[in-house]
Structure 1
Amino acid sequence: MDGPTDSSLTLTPTGEVLATSADSGDPATRYFNRELSWLAFNRRVLAEARNSSYPLLERLRFLSISGSNLDEFMMIRVAGLEAQVRRGIAKTSIDGKTPSQQLTAIRREYIDIEKTQQAALADLRGRLAHQGIRIADEKHLAPGHIKWLREWFEDQVLPVLTPQAIDPAHPFPFVANLGMGVIFNLVRKSDGEGLVEMVLIPAGIPRFVRLPGEDEATWVPVESLVTRFAPALFPGFEIVGDGVFRVIRDSDIEVEEEAEDLVRYFRTAIQRRRRGRVVLLELDQQCDPEAEKLLREQLGVEGAMVIKTDGMLGLRGLNQVVDEDRPDLKFAAFSPRYPERVMEHDGDCFAAIREKDMIIHHPYESFEVVVDFLRQAASDPAVLSIKQTLYRAGNQSPVIQALTQAAENGKSVTAVVELKARFDEEQNLKWAGELERAGVQVIYGFTEWKTHAKVSMVMRREDDGIRTYCHFGTGNYHPVTANIYTDLSYFTADPKLARDAGKLFNFVTGYVEPRKTEALAISPIDLRETLYEAIDREIENARAGRPAGIWAKLNSITEKGMIDRLYEASQAGVEIELVIRGICCLRPGVPGLSDNIHVKSIIGRFLEHSRIWAFANGYALPSARANVWISSADAMSRNLTRRVEALVPLRNRTVHNQVLDQVLVANLLDNERSWTLDASGDYTRVERGDAEGFNVHDYFMRNPSLSGRGGAGIGAVPKLSLRRGRA
């Protein structure tokens, strides 16, 4: 039997209270806990590692992603809760749990997820071995491999290892965040004296070593080699016991409002983060008891989680094995389309945008058009200036190169670089320095707010005056994630949107708050209020007997005010369809509270990332008269009150139809990669039954977009209908 069938899977976040009525006196009956909802999301990611319809290396990739997700969750969310407990902060979560209560529930869930991960790894190991890919450890190596591995270890690893004695004369060594090592309990053969030694594995050493050979691939974790060949490290000693361990530390950076120099502050804060308090100590199940005791004492794990694992530590490292050159065990290769309309204008992005607004649907359509838009601006003599926000740009950024080239070509270039982009702070500092050296005016924005809006402005002198071309995105200017995340890039030369974009930049660069905008809504000024008002209009329409409906596609919804507004809309009879990939604190289907709200989550080949809102506006959805917005913001307190975000209306008919009738409808139709959420917190994979299968990712890989397809003979775009059996 090829693993469990996904249609039978139901995932439940533990520690939740079953919601059976609209009891407003108990927040646990109205809302899900944020942290437990995130863990439920990671369970859905982990479930894909056991999805028998996926190629094996893709299943291993999902297992690696689930491990990486958990690491970040511990570094940020759990670390924050532990800090609240230490400081005596008793502020409750949206569902009424104290920090201590949340930690108890999280630890119970974490242990269960970790066991599920190890079971998935054991299953995948066996299946991959049948396909010629072995993930071995030092106890299960073929004799013929030992000699080669010993030579490799002595040549590549041994010279960079530093055994460190643990005794009063040698202070306990620092173990970095995500650091891994092996601790040994030794006895000197000459006099029987006991000694504990630690060997930290340098970050520069690959996590796995691949044995030579083309017919079969064998990957061995480096920590198992340290264990196997330890006698070479400790001549004259008998190894009584050992244990592999791994450490996760508090990695959040709290920005002090009085920080006078953000660049200097973040350079110092990044160093502090590497030495944050330990929040998780992972040990292998067979760890030597004396060595374990010493680790617990020296790492100061009181209040932290300590997990003993009967399997492999640090599953995020499996991404190295996923890179094995076996296309037969991966998804079929996919090449994004380049927008036909731009090619019809001989690659002239400005001419294509002048003709008509267009929206690019990544990753199905190439991110290269965004880069080309900036490259063309950099080299075009008619372009006067460029303004650009940068939240995450990646390690090798063609966007940075284009902005640098534009400045060197004499353009006026302004870049808003967000230093507070978590885990990209160091990279963004590097880009900021490079941009400044090229002559770009670099702005770091607000101290207390993150600039999360994704906006580009290009001002160009043309025959009829200066025209402004804008790009608004739901995702980052990051060429790698643009191949994985589903996002929207909206190109327009609409003067109203251009004037509003200029006000947004003035707000960030000069703290000039826009008094009034013509089209955009901007957080934290009026984005939340704009959405509230749109929900209120649907409530009024429902009460007046007119068609009323709300569709939204988001990564997360946690903001209490937004949830309560949607509850009110449900009670008024508004039909609400939510596609929430990750965290959902809203309880759907509670009698008298949220009967008319349905929530689904899509997990598949691509990471759903675009944020879209659609409001019926008195006509049955989908309708040409519906109000449709795209946004950089999720429905979370941080996005609506502590970040600079943009909410962009789609008024061009073709763009409007593409996002509403194609993107949103396809997400609602999907019955192959969807999970539905019920009032108790259970996520159940959709069973399509006798209905025709519809996979949203496959659909968009096969079909061109509406607004970017131009007039080339590439076939009509199929018209989707919700009558096709939406779950």
Structure 2
Amino acid sequence: MSDMREYYGEVASLELLNRLVAAPLPAGLRAGPVQTLFHRDAYFDAADWTLRRRGVTCRFRTRMDDRRLLTLQVPPGPGSADGPREVFEAEVVELDGAAALAGTSEPARRLRALIDPAALAPRIEFETERRVRRSRPRWLLEAVYELYYDVVTVRGGGLSRSFQELKIRPRRRGWPGLERLVTAFRDGYAVRPLLVGKLERAEKLSRALESEGLARAVQQNREVAVLALEQGQIALRHEGGTLMLPVRRGSGEEACRYVLRTAFGSSDGQVRLLGMAPAAAGRPLLEVWLVRRLGKGLAAVEGTNLQWVPLAEVVELVGAPVLHEPRTLAALTVAARSELVPEWPSGPGRRSGGEPRESMAVLSPGVITREWTIAGLREPPRSVAEQSIASDHFLSSQLSWLEFNGRVLALAEDATVPLLARVRFLSIFRTNLDEFFMVQVGALKHALQVGGREASEDGLSAQEQLDAILIRLRSELERYTQCLLQGCLPQLAAQGIRLQRWSELSEPDRAVLRRYFTEQVFPLLTPQAITRAPGHPFPVMANLRLSLAVLVRDAATGPMHFAYVKLPEGLPRLVSLPDGRGLVPLEDVVRANLDLVYRGREVEAAYTFRVTRSGDLELDERRAENLLHVIEEEAQRRPYGDVVRLEVEHGMRGDVRRLLLRELQFEDVARVSTIGPGDLFDVDGLLDPLALLEIADLARPELQYPPFQGRRVLDSAKSVFDLVGESDVLFHHPYDSFTDTVERFFVEAADDPEVVAIKLTLYRAGGRSRIVDALVRAAAAGKEVFVFVELKARFDEERNVEWAKRLERAGIHVVYGLVDVKTHAKVGLVVRREGDTVRQYVHIGTGNYNAATAAVYTDFGLLTANPDLGADLNDLFNELSGSSRPPGVTFRRLLVAPGEMMSRVVALIDREAEHARAGRGGRIRAKLNGLEEAEVIHALYRASQAGVEVDLLVRGICCLRPGVPGLSGRIRVISVLGRFLEHGRAFAFANGGAPDYYIGSADWRPRNLRRRVEVAAPILDARCRTRLDRILEAELADPTAWELGPDGGYYHRAAPPGGAAASAQERLMRLGEAAFA
């Protein structure tokens, strides 16, 4: 060992390596400061390891200073077999390895003489985080060493693993010798010599990871899926009521043509590999082949059950019981993100003015008539009570939500809606998607990450749900783009509201904006390098923060650096030109003035992008000593959760996209991110929906909905308590003024000297609140005030924390939340002394105590002095204030979740079925935001089979399949959308002529009935019942509503003869109760 040039040793663990870095050097050596370095290596080769077999190594290295090196090592030439390998190395300007291989550097040119670079792909990839210590000699004959402490992270098969190495390199011979130093590390730290190099270790680990990934994903073999596309139609097999693409085991073009020969009778056709669908649980790696110009056109082989289905229809049916086969979903996901399928539907959504299709005509000889649309959904008459619900009895909750958001988009596409309101609906569509990705997609990706295999009620796994979501999203996003770029923006320009890009501006306007940038924007910018250099940790890109990816060069010949600039918050997203000549996006202003940010350097390009991160909080409520502090801390961490989506502007270069995506994948080097190419979304137009909201808020009343003020329904000459003491009052906001009803109730309670106590739940109070101000005054006046503030209201956690602190500072008794459940109930109780008695006044609502949302959400509210309801609510508040567990008492009249509400609702449904079976008829009407609870859906199916007519007003998610003969033939599901967001919950049961009516805070979803404190109250007053009845009937008859079909699609009701009729919302606004008399 005395003549050893360098030493490589294996370190058993990261903990041990860290100890080595921190410990004094052995053998009396003195160490200098620790220097940290980082580089990432990608070794390229063909699928069959052609370069390896020829003794060639091709490496693309990215260093922490953003310099990129391409290195090619080849065997010595003929006649010098024992000579050293030839090394060709050059610094390259390309941002990724694939582009560098096709570049003009000497290693790239040499490589092309050996192999086509297009055949190469990264086969081994790893990062090295290196800490370097150099010994400092204290006397002339002392040896000098450099010690490299490496952490090498290898990725493969969707997994990652690390190993540690110690490298000792002599820089000056002397005492102590290398052998002594090695012995000291072996004896003191069990460092063992390595017999193979880092690349060999990385390759071995990479193969192990790939094998593990293959085993996990059943990827021992491949399959090919053939997507035959002719005249805008796809060939699908129809088997057992399910549509699926032709798939078989195999790989490559030969396997694809074998499928063509067996399915179509000919292997002729133009074939092209669309891409790969990664292996998933129960499904191997899937090659997706696109086939055009089939030899026999639209003909099919007899007996194959092959059917040609329009592509638009396929997309609409994705996830429905007839089209949710896993391989087909995976293949369609690949097609949805491919530019090779320009036919992908992008027009308006679901059918308008029609019913679900019963059958389809024959398209060509040999093609089976498509009766599956309804026949595949038809169920034999049998009692649901005698069987468990099958997965194909449910619709996907995720896809149902996308259908809802598509209906929001339809409002933006509706030319009869005021222009700025259409822009607002576009903004709502996008912000809805933001939350959907943060919550739903984030949860699905987390399920994949932890290996969860539990299917949803509709039978789809997490991966299949993600596939179906991505398939549906492409068409919706293209609809959004068309509506914005071809519809709204040109019409805005015609109205003098011009969105201008920098290239369209005059020099005087550019000068004005440069001054604005210098004075208002530049002081708020903090550019960050995307690097892992010491002192520059890899930047964590905040959730939904619009940013610029910047390519900047130090000098004309220097390396290209990748950096990003966050657009400042608090500034307008659109900058107004002088005299209102136009609006310029802030990102354009920043991009055009980056020369002031990167002085002395060359900005080559800058592109906008936005990162979406998982939004759920990770709370251990059972161990939390102070829930308020825990939630406050977790909410502050939310902007830095796992990445679930990357949005980039349409013009972003491909290499920048790949680099940005890769950096996000490697954001945490200790593990593999779940984000992949399918999570990158190209956005044409304004990337940040806040810009659309600014346009929608412009002071152009002629382009907005006409102003509307809710009615004053309470007599101002009497006190609220006198009015409610006489009879119950049912409110319907915003048609009834929130200020004149709910706010007035609590304001009068705070200022009334006879009121002794006020109790309230707060879920989303919003910004400034007259109700909260009244509670503070009441506490200052010596009244007993109790407020239950739900800190876990998603995305309002930090605001609710501030409300809780303010209320506590005012001396109010505040409770923050219950363990493992949210309190979603909207209830208030006022206790008032009246003579020798104490009377309780109750408010029970469906919406939040929030004046801002009350102006745009439709909600119900009940004011009553009913003693039973007052006693029930008092018991509920005692439970909320006296225990950390959900309420466990039995209530007289209230339905309260998570205890008895679900069983009571199911019992009411079953009672209606008994009436129908006894010949007394039966009818159920319910108005909900969402219907997802399997037990309730099961009961509704039983009721339908018993003969009960079921009419459901469901604004959003609905997992029930209506209109299926023998299962749900008497169930109708209607969705009402319009100017106001339908938010009220109410249900009515005919009960054999003695009807029951309820309003409350709960939807019929698992989260509401099982994991939240919810309250529903009976409507007992005859006038209130009549009013609620008329509202429900009016909305069920709304001529602008959408109806849900058994396939999960929504069908817009046809306009009546003579033009559009007024919607239920319009009638309520114009005529009030007289409209329904």
Q: Same fold (TM over 0.5)?
A: yes
Is the 8 Å Cα contact of residues 549 and 616 (structure 1) preserved in structure 2? yes
Give 1:15 shift: 2.6
- Counterpart residue number, 1:331: 705
1:127-142 aligned within 5 A: 127-142=491-506
1:404-415 aligned within 5 A: 404-415=776-787
1:149-164 aligned within 5 A: 149-164=513-528
Give 1:136 shift: 2.2
Q: Which deviations, in whole Å up to 9, do the C-alpha atoms of 1:293-328 show, x marking residues without a partner?
A: 332222227422111223321224310111111001
Specify the code of the residue in structure 1 equivalent to 2:767.
Answer: N
- Counterpart residue number, 2:1057: 690
Is the 8 Å Cα contact of residues 190 and 236 (structure 1) preserved in structure 2? no
Q: 2:585 aligns with which of 203, 221, 224?
A: 221
- Counterpart residue number, 2:818: 446
Partner-residue secondary structure (3-state), 2:502 = coil
1:475-494 aligned within 5 A: 475-494=847-866
Q: 1:60 aligns with which of 423, 439, 442?
A: 423
* In the alignment, structure 1 residue 22 sits paired with structure 2 residue 22: no
- Counterpart residue number, 2:715: 342
Partner-residue secondary structure (3-state), 1:577 = strand
- Counterpart residue number, 2:156: none
Q: Which deviations, in whole Å up to 9, do the C-alpha atoms of 1:261-316 show, x marking residues without a partner?
A: 21111011112212101111111122234433332222227422111223321224
* In the alignment, structure 1 residue 43 sits paired with structure 2 residue 406: yes
Q: 2:1007 aligns with which of 616, 638, 663?
A: 638
> What is the CA–CA distance in structure 1 between the aligned matches of 2:1024 and 2:717, rounded to whole Å?
18
* In the alignment, structure 1 residue 206 sits paired with structure 2 residue 572: yes
Partner-residue secondary structure (3-state), 2:504 = coil
Is the 8 Å Cα contact of residues 445 and 509 (structure 1) preserved in structure 2? no
- Counterpart residue number, 1:360: 731
Give 1:342 shift: 2.8
Q: Which deviations, in whole Å up to 9, do the C-alpha atoms of 1:248-267 show, x marking residues without a partner?
A: 11111133242232111101
> What is the CA–CA distance in structure 2 between the aligned matches of 1:416 and 1:128, rounded to whole Å?
46
Partner-residue secondary structure (3-state), 2:503 = coil
Give 1:134 shift: 1.2
- Counterpart residue number, 1:103: 466
- Counterpart residue number, 1:597: 971
* In the alignment, structure 1 residue 466 sits paired with structure 2 residue 823: no
Q: Which deviations, in whole Å up to 9, do the C-alpha atoms of 1:572-623 show, x marking residues without a partner?
A: 110011110000000000111000001110110000000010011113xxxx
Give 1:80 shift: 0.5
> What is the CA–CA distance in structure 2 between the aligned matches of 1:671 and 1:450, rounded to whole Å?
37
Give 1:690 shift: 2.5
Specify the code of the residue in structure 2 equivalent to 1:21.
Answer: R
Is the 8 Å Cα contact of residues 13 and 36 (structure 1) preserved in structure 2? no
Q: Which deviations, in whole Å up to 9, do the C-alpha atoms of 1:440-491 show, x marking residues without a partner?
A: 1001231111111111100000025101111000000011000000001100
With over 3 angstroms needed to count, the CA separation of the structure-2 counterparts of 1:26 and 1:228, relative to structure 1, is: farther
- Tell me whether 625-634 or 311-320 shows the greater mean CA deviation: 311-320
1:476-515 aligned within 5 A: 476-511=848-883, 513=887, 515=889
Give 1:144 shift: 4.5
Structure 1 segments unaligned to the other structure (5+ residues): 1-8, 620-624, 706-716, 721-727
- Counterpart residue number, 2:890: 516
- Tell me whether 328-337 or 186-195 shows the greater mean CA deviation: 186-195
Is the 8 Å Cα contact of residues 242 and 288 (structure 1) preserved in structure 2? no
Partner-residue secondary structure (3-state), 1:15 = coil
Specify the code of the residue in structure 2 equivalent to 1:688.
Answer: A
Partner-residue secondary structure (3-state), 1:202 = coil
With over 3 angstroms needed to count, the CA separation of the structure-2 counterparts of 1:446 and 1:231, relative to structure 1, is: same
Q: 1:112 aligns with which of 475, 484, 492?
A: 475
Partner-residue secondary structure (3-state), 2:479 = helix
Give 1:121 shift: 0.9
Specify the code of the residue in structure 1 equivalent to 2:954.
Answer: I
Partner-residue secondary structure (3-state), 1:542 = helix
Is the 8 Å Cα contact of residues 16 and 28 (structure 1) preserved in structure 2? no
- Counterpart residue number, 2:325: none
1:270-669 aligned within 5 A: 270-300=635-665, 302-304=673-675, 305-339=679-713, 341-345=714-718, 348-368=719-739, 369-511=741-883, 513=887, 515-619=889-993, 625-660=994-1029, 662-669=1030-1037
> What is the CA–CA distance in structure 1 between the aligned matches of 2:413 and 2:975, rounded to whole Å?
18
> What is the CA–CA distance in structure 2 between the aligned matches of 1:229 and 1:513, rounded to whole Å?
59
Partner-residue secondary structure (3-state), 1:213 = helix
Partner-residue secondary structure (3-state), 1:235 = coil
Is the 8 Å Cα contact of residues 66 and 316 (structure 1) preserved in structure 2? no
Partner-residue secondary structure (3-state), 2:716 = helix
Is the 8 Å Cα contact of residues 392 and 459 (structure 2) preserved in structure 1? no
Q: 2:1046 aligns with which of 679, 697, 704?
A: 679
**Segments of 4+ in structure 1 off by > 6 A?**
23-26
Q: 2:484 aligns with which of 105, 110, 121?
A: 121
- Counterpart residue number, 2:70: none
Is the 8 Å Cα contact of residues 387 and 415 (structure 1) preserved in structure 2? yes
- Counterpart residue number, 1:724: none
* In the alignment, structure 1 residue 176 sits paired with structure 2 residue 560: no
- Tell me whether 222-231 or 495-504 shows the greater mean CA deviation: 222-231
Partner-residue secondary structure (3-state), 2:1004 = coil
* In the alignment, structure 1 residue 197 sits paired with structure 2 residue 563: yes
Q: Which structure is larger by alpha-carbon Rg, 1 or 2?
A: 2
Is the 8 Å Cα contact of residues 535 and 569 (structure 1) preserved in structure 2? yes
Partner-residue secondary structure (3-state), 2:458 = coil
> What is the CA–CA distance in structure 2 between the aligned matches of 1:688 and 1:292, rounded to whole Å?
45
Partner-residue secondary structure (3-state), 2:481 = helix
> What is the CA–CA distance in structure 2 between the aligned matches of 1:587 and 1:603, rounded to whole Å?
20
- Counterpart residue number, 1:6: none
Is the 8 Å Cα contact of residues 573 and 690 (structure 2) preserved in structure 1? no
With over 3 angstroms needed to count, the CA separation of the structure-2 counterparts of 1:366 and 1:665, relative to structure 1, is: same
Specify the code of the residue in structure 1 equivalent to 2:961.
Answer: R
Is the 8 Å Cα contact of residues 671 and 686 (structure 1) preserved in structure 2? yes
> What is the CA–CA distance in structure 2 between the aligned matches of 1:414 and 1:505, rounded to whole Å?
9
With over 3 angstroms needed to count, the CA separation of the structure-2 counterparts of 1:129 and 1:100, relative to structure 1, is: same
Is the 8 Å Cα contact of residues 417 and 442 (structure 1) preserved in structure 2? yes
Specify the code of the residue in structure 1 equivalent to 2:426.
Answer: L
With over 3 angstroms needed to count, the CA separation of the structure-2 counterparts of 1:344 and 1:693, relative to structure 1, is: farther
Specify the code of the residue in structure 2 equivalent to 1:176.
Answer: A
Is the 8 Å Cα contact of residues 255 and 447 (structure 1) preserved in structure 2? no
Is the 8 Å Cα contact of residues 953 and 1036 (structure 2) preserved in structure 1? yes
Q: Could you say which structure has the greater relative contact order, defined with CA pairs below 8 angstroms and 6 or more residues apart?
A: 1
Specify the code of the residue in structure 1 equivalent to 2:609.
Answer: F
Partner-residue secondary structure (3-state), 1:395 = coil
Give 1:718 shift: 4.1
With over 3 angstroms needed to count, the CA separation of the structure-2 counterparts of 1:379 and 1:679, relative to structure 1, is: same
Give 1:640 shift: 0.5
Give 1:514 shift: 5.0
- Tell me whether 64-73 or 392-401 shows the greater mean CA deviation: 392-401
> What is the CA–CA distance in structure 1 between the aligned matches of 2:403 and 2:748, rounded to whole Å?
44
Partner-residue secondary structure (3-state), 1:618 = helix
With over 3 angstroms needed to count, the CA separation of the structure-2 counterparts of 1:718 and 1:55, relative to structure 1, is: closer
Q: 1:186 aligns with which of 536, 543, 552?
A: 552
Is the 8 Å Cα contact of residues 13 and 109 (structure 1) preserved in structure 2? no
Instruction: Tell me how many residue pairs correspond in the alignment.
Output: 689
- Counterpart residue number, 1:710: none
Give 1:206 shift: 2.1
Is the 8 Å Cα contact of residues 755 and 830 (structure 2) preserved in structure 1? yes
Specify the code of the residue in structure 2 equivalent to 1:241.
Answer: A
Is the 8 Å Cα contact of residues 830 and 841 (structure 2) preserved in structure 1? yes
> What is the CA–CA distance in structure 2 between the aligned matches of 1:254 and 1:552, rounded to whole Å?
34
Specify the code of the residue in structure 1 equivalent to 2:854.
Answer: A
Give 1:196 shift: 2.2
